[in-house]
Chains A and B, each alone.
Chain A
Amino acid sequence: MSFWATCAGMVAVTFGSRLAGLTLHRELPPFWLRFLHFVPISVFAALVAPSLTGSRGEGGIRIVAAALAAFAAWWTRQLAVAIAVGMAAFWLLRVPF
């Protein structure tokens, strides 16, 4: 397959996945409505957890930084503040003492 055929295939499966959920019928039975309530909770947790241990043996640092960011998120409800707190802690702790 040429580059452009591959690119077209990538567009098709990516756009297809993105459109499929948005297009599906809206009237859902109660079970699936409750299911959807838990989708962001499960997905966000699944996006966070594997990155906490990292690939460079700095899992401890990442978990401490994430805990501080979580506290900042709970306290301020501000995405930017939580990221700033977490990254500041992460970079400071990474400096070898």
Chain B
Amino acid sequence: MFRSGFRATAPLWLGVAPFGVAYAVLARGAGLSLLETQALSLLVFAGSSQVSAVGLFARGAGGLEIVFTTLLLNVRHVLYGLSLGRRVPLTRRERLAAAFFLTDEAYGVSVASGARTFSFVLGAEVSLYVTWNLATLAGALLGGVIPDPEKLGVDFVFPLAFLALLIPLLRRRVDVLVAVVAGVLAWVLARNTPGGLPIVIAGVVGSLLGAVLTHREGPA
């Protein structure tokens, strides 16, 4: 099961690797040492917060500001944990491991593939952890010779992946309606709200809407 989870997130390496390299190049440019650059990938393991953190370090921002931005970007994981915890039975120790390595992509792939075991989830998670950390190391060592992944357009892998994970979940009209409302709301919010907040707000509003609209049915 670990192996099939590991393989299930492999298509995302194409997006994770250049992003990890780019993060490391930015971090080195912001004055972080090789050890510090790698430590964030090994210990925090959250791409978008690591990139914003090094951006803030470069501007001389305070530690509290960086930690608060990280919190804003990562509260969405509470939703993933709630959702995943209902699908996959976990012992206390497994829960710690599943939480440490949790990412949007691993959550998405686990839910979409109907994973019911800890080892599948862990495989999906570790697959991305290894790729992210190897890419960080490569970027930190290679420095500025790497082209910007956004210029190459590789960042587009992530929305494509989440779209491909979304499609099979749209079984009823109400599913489509909720997806459209959440998508439009996130799009509007993202224009003037920082970081992960649009995802949290659109995620909560969309889910509330769905729960209200289906109140005549049993649990889905």
Contacts and interface: CB of A to CB of B under 8 A. Distances in A.
B102 A18 contact: yes
Contacts of A31: 211, 215
B117 to A, nearest CB: 15
B70 A80 contact: no
Nearest to A66: B163
Central interface residue in A3, A5, A20, by most chain B CB within 10 Å: A3
Contacts of A73: 163-164, 167-168
A31 B219 CA distance: 8
Interface of A: 1-3, 5-7, 9-15, 17-24, 26, 28, 30-56, 62, 65-66, 69-70, 72-74, 77, 79-80, 82-83, 86-87, 90-91, 94
A41 B95 CA distance: 23
Interface in B102-139: 102, 104, 107-109, 111-112
B16 interface: no
Contacts of B74: 13-14, 17-18
A83 B11 contact: yes
Contact of A79 (B62, B81, B164, B191): B164
B70 A9 contact: yes
Contact of B163 (A19, A70, A77): A70
Interface size class of B (residues with CB under 8 A): 35 or more
B74 to A, nearest CB: 5
A41 B70 contact: no
A45 B206 contact: yes
Contact of B203 (A28, A34, A39): A39
Contacts of A28: 86
Given A15-B99, A18-B102, A42-B206, A83 B83 contact: no
Given A45-B182, A48-B162, A22 B79 contact: no
Given A5-B63, A13-B71, A47 B207 contact: no
Given A17-B71, A79-B109, A40 B77 contact: no
Interface string B177-220: 01111111111001100000011001111111111001101111
The 7 A-B residue pairs whose C-beta atoms are closest, nearest first, are A21-B81, A1-B63, A42-B206, A38-B210, A82-B164, A46-B186, A9-B67
Contacts of B79: 21, 39, 43
Central interface residue in B57, B111, B160, B202, by most chain A CB within 10 Å: B160
Given A34-B220, A46-B186, 19 more contacts: A1-B62, A9-B67, A12-B67, A13-B67, A13-B74, A18-B77, A23-B85, A28-B86, A34-B217, A35-B210, A39-B82, A41-B175, A46-B185, A50-B198, A51-B158, A73-B167, A74-B168, A79-B11, A86-B164
